[in-house]
A and B are shown apart, each in its own frame.
Chain A
Amino acid sequence: MSAILEIDGLVKRFGGLLATDNVSLTVNTGEIHALIGPNGAGKSTLINQLCGELTPDEGRIRLNGRDVTGMTVPDRVAMGLGRTFQITNLLDDSTVRENIAMAVLALEGHNFRIWDNILRRRSIWNQADALLTGTPLESRAHVQVSGLSHGERKQLELLVALARKPRLLLLDEPMAGLGHVESQEMITRLQEIGQTTPMLLVEHDMDAVFALATRISVLVYGRIIASGTVDHIRTNPEVREAYLGAEDELC
């Protein structure tokens, strides 16, 4: 097992608020590392530093052994970092198929061409169609994102991230707002993906976390207070207290 993502002593301050307090963690190949914590624990802040939208004040982030701390979002993506957004973040005026094709386009390159015709780049559309085939969104390929249900958008978020063929996935609450059946489907889907792609999973839904995670870290007030296997975290009194003090979700 080798580490694909290594976070070392990450610190982020907003004025006087310590949003990320000396966080260190790793994601290894073949691993689904879940990050849990009450609301306001700084999970999104951490994710945004990992993908490059925020710059940490201290600490280092390494992807595949390479230091990416100062790199821009697109550069990290080019190195194999994929992500989904907590609040879905898609091209709303485009169709499902076009959203996926855009991700394929990003992967293929040659996008400064001003004299070609996007519709004639068959390989782009073939790949997009192949990615859609067999998914619940197949029948919705030509629907605009603005016309999708919340659950469908969540699925599309994941598909778009996968279309970029990431080597590591950062998932920011993929279950949020999903119904029971949709959640079950999403868990099954993530289990499949987890076979080949390591993930850092930020999630509130404990059923999902316990079903998916190979390792769990608990973030409270920007600090990791515990890290370990599912059973270890389940029975950790400190975690129970920190967590149950904030909200009654861990059961």
Chain B
Amino acid sequence: MQKTLIVVGLIVLLLVPTLTDLAGQPALLSLVTRILIYSIAAASLNFILGYGGMVSFGHAAFFGVGGYVVGILFVHHGSGEPLLGFIPGSNQLLVTLPLAVIVAGAFAGLVGALSLRTSGVQFIMITLAFAQMLYFLFVSLKTYGGEDGIIIRRSNELFGLDMRDKAVMYYVILVVWAGFFVLLWRLIQSSFGTVIKGIRQNERRMAALGFAPYRYKLYAFVLAGAGAGLAGALMANFLRFTSPDMLHWSKSGELMIMVILGGVGSFFGPILGAGAFLVLESFLAGWSEHWPLALGLILLVVVLGTKGGLGGLIGKLAAWATRGRT
């Protein structure tokens, strides 16, 4: 059943550019592309939040760092001046993407090493604080556009493909997306994933078994940061733009909304959640400029009314409907 759904889903995703083309709805292709990218960021957050029990309120920071790696390398590629005098710029996706992953992971290592010494509300706030620091850092970097960010005139190159073509860009992102979710699937089934899930359930018990929770949580935090960096790098390529807005705290909030909409700690949840959030956003935005009001109310209902996101809501409604009938 689940396998069939996955295959059908993949076929639909492969057909998206053709379908949107036939329907004459290019905006729809762009929407699906953004859903793919955000679902990577949301899934990486879900890994620490849903599977690891770490409520990070600064995940957008790593998303933004990934975007800035692409942007900054592009700037230096254009100017020919090496970064810090020795790192040459690049516009090759095969260079920028892995670099974005590594740099975002390194930042996550730094932030995590310090933040994970706290827990509870202090952890939420210290992750937010580090994200804010990075946000203001990029705002103050006039060399890289300050508040206005970096306009990337041309997306990164890959095997001579025409990356200006929206469909080509879509397929490139789709391949990366599929690869990411395969990796994530393996990660969750792995020994490490098992330990992380144990730590979420009962950290004290895991310590009493001899696991040092800090080291496992830190590693998970780094992996999640790297995932967000990947999403950010893709986003910078897709929008051909990167700015401090990518690191804004409300962006971290949006990623959390996606996770909870899809159902915390469920594998496909973030895809569902990112889809629901972005579709809702573009649908509501087309309907009224006051769409955040509707979004706010919907979010309230979901958070207060369900324990399992949209999946849980659907289940609840179904139970209610069947009970009403008998």
Which A residues contact B (CB, under 8 angstroms)? 51, 53, 72-75, 77-78, 83, 85, 89-94, 102-103, 105-107, 110-119, 121, 160, 164
Given known A89-B204, A93-B201, contact A118–B193 (CB-CB < 8 A): yes
Whether A113 contacts B204 by the Cβ 8 Å rule is: no
Q: Which of B181-215 contact A (CB under 8 A)?
A: 186-187, 189-195, 198, 201-202, 204-212
B185 CB, min distance to chain A CBs, angstroms: 10
A15 CB, min distance to chain B CBs, angstroms: 22
Whether B195 contacts A111 by the Cβ 8 Å rule is: yes
In the complex, which residues of chain B have a beta carbon less than 8 angstroms from the beta carbon of A75?
Answer: 212
A210 CB, min distance to chain B CBs, angstroms: 28
The winner among A53, A118, A160 for most chain B CB atoms within 10 A is A118
> Which 5 interchain pairs have the tightest Cβ spacing?
A77-B210, A106-B209, A74-B212, A73-B207, A91-B201
Whether A121 contacts B189 by the Cβ 8 Å rule is: no
In the complex, which residues of chain B have a beta carbon less than 8 angstroms from the beta carbon of A115?
Answer: 186, 190
Cβ-neighbour of B191 out of A89, A91, A103, A113 (below 8 A): A113
In the complex, which residues of chain B have a beta carbon less than 8 angstroms from the beta carbon of A89?
Answer: 202, 204-205, 208
Q: How far is the CA of A91 from the CA of B189 in the complex (A)?
A: 17
Whether A118 contacts B212 by the Cβ 8 Å rule is: no
Q: How far is the CA of A72 from the CA of B213 in the complex (A)?
A: 11
**B223 located at the interface, meaning its Cβ lies under 8 Å from any Cβ of chain A in the complex:** yes
A216 CB, min distance to chain B CBs, angstroms: 25
**B180 located at the interface, meaning its Cβ lies under 8 Å from any Cβ of chain A in the complex:** no
A82 CB, min distance to chain B CBs, angstroms: 8
**Tally of chain B residues near chain A (CB < 8 A):** 24
Whether B211 contacts A164 by the Cβ 8 Å rule is: no
Given known A74-B210, A111-B211, contact A118–B189 (CB-CB < 8 A): yes
Q: How far is the CA of A119 from the CA of B195 in the complex (A)?
A: 13
A97 CB, min distance to chain B CBs, angstroms: 13
A91 CB, min distance to chain B CBs, angstroms: 4
B101 CB, min distance to chain A CBs, angstroms: 14
Q: How far is the CA of A53 from the CA of B187 in the complex (A)?
A: 30
Whether A116 contacts B210 by the Cβ 8 Å rule is: no
Whether A102 contacts B192 by the Cβ 8 Å rule is: no
Q: How far is the CA of A72 from the CA of B214 in the complex (A)?
A: 11
A100 CB, min distance to chain B CBs, angstroms: 10
Whether B186 contacts A114 by the Cβ 8 Å rule is: yes
Cβ-neighbour of A117 out of B190, B202, B204 (below 8 A): B190
Whether A164 contacts B212 by the Cβ 8 Å rule is: no
Given known A72-B212, A74-B212, A92-B202, contact A112–B219 (CB-CB < 8 A): yes
Whether B208 contacts A105 by the Cβ 8 Å rule is: no
Q: How far is the CA of A91 from the CA of B186 in the complex (A)?
A: 22
In the complex, which residues of chain B have a beta carbon less than 8 angstroms from the beta carbon of A116?
Answer: 190-191
Cβ-neighbour of B208 out of A73, A107, A113 (below 8 A): A73
Given known A111-B191, A112-B219, A116-B190, contact A103–B209 (CB-CB < 8 A): yes
Whether B189 contacts A117 by the Cβ 8 Å rule is: yes
Q: Which residue of A lies closest to B192 (CB)?
A: A114
B55 CB, min distance to chain A CBs, angstroms: 18
In the complex, which residues of chain A have a beta carbon less than 8 angstroms from the beta carbon of B189?
Answer: 117-119
In the complex, which residues of chain A have a beta carbon less than 8 angstroms from the beta carbon of B202?
Answer: 89-92
Q: Which residue of B lies closest to A52 (CB)?
A: B207
Q: How far is the CA of A78 from the CA of B211 in the complex (A)?
A: 9
Cβ-neighbour of B209 out of A72, A77, A93, A121 (below 8 A): A77
16 of the cross-chain contacts (CB-CB < 8 Å) are A53-B204, A72-B212, A73-B208, A74-B211, A77-B210, A89-B204, A91-B202, A102-B195, A102-B198, A102-B209, A111-B211, A112-B216, A114-B223, A115-B190, A116-B190, A116-B191
The winner among B190, B216, B223 for most chain A CB atoms within 10 A is B190
New contact pairs (8) apart from A77-B207, A78-B210, A111-B211, CB-CB < 8 Å: A74-B210, A74-B212, A92-B202, A94-B201, A106-B211, A113-B192, A115-B190, A164-B210
A144 CB, min distance to chain B CBs, angstroms: 11
Q: Which residue of A lies closest to B220 (CB)?
A: A114
Cβ-neighbour of A114 out of B193, B201, B204, B212 (below 8 A): B193
In the complex, which residues of chain A have a beta carbon less than 8 angstroms from the beta carbon of B216?
Answer: 111-112
Whether A83 contacts B191 by the Cβ 8 Å rule is: no
In the complex, which residues of chain A have a beta carbon less than 8 angstroms from the beta carbon of B193?
Answer: 114, 118
Whether B210 contacts A114 by the Cβ 8 Å rule is: no
In the complex, which residues of chain B have a beta carbon less than 8 angstroms from the beta carbon of A118?
Answer: 189-191, 193-194
Whether A112 contacts B209 by the Cβ 8 Å rule is: no
Q: Which residue of B lies closest to A170 (CB)?
A: B208
A125 CB, min distance to chain B CBs, angstroms: 12
Q: Which residue of B lies closest to A166 (CB)?
A: B210
Q: How far is the CA of A115 from the CA of B186 in the complex (A)?
A: 6
In the complex, which residues of chain A have a beta carbon less than 8 angstroms from the beta carbon of B209?
Answer: 77, 102-103, 106, 160, 164
Encoded as 1 (CB less than 8 Å from any A CB) or 0, chain B from 31 to 57 comes to 000000000000000000000000000
Q: How far is the CA of A53 from the CA of B208 in the complex (A)?
A: 9
Q: How far is the CA of A116 from the CA of B219 in the complex (A)?
A: 16
Q: How far is the CA of A18 from the CA of B207 in the complex (A)?
A: 27
Given known A111-B211, A112-B219, contact A105–B204 (CB-CB < 8 A): no
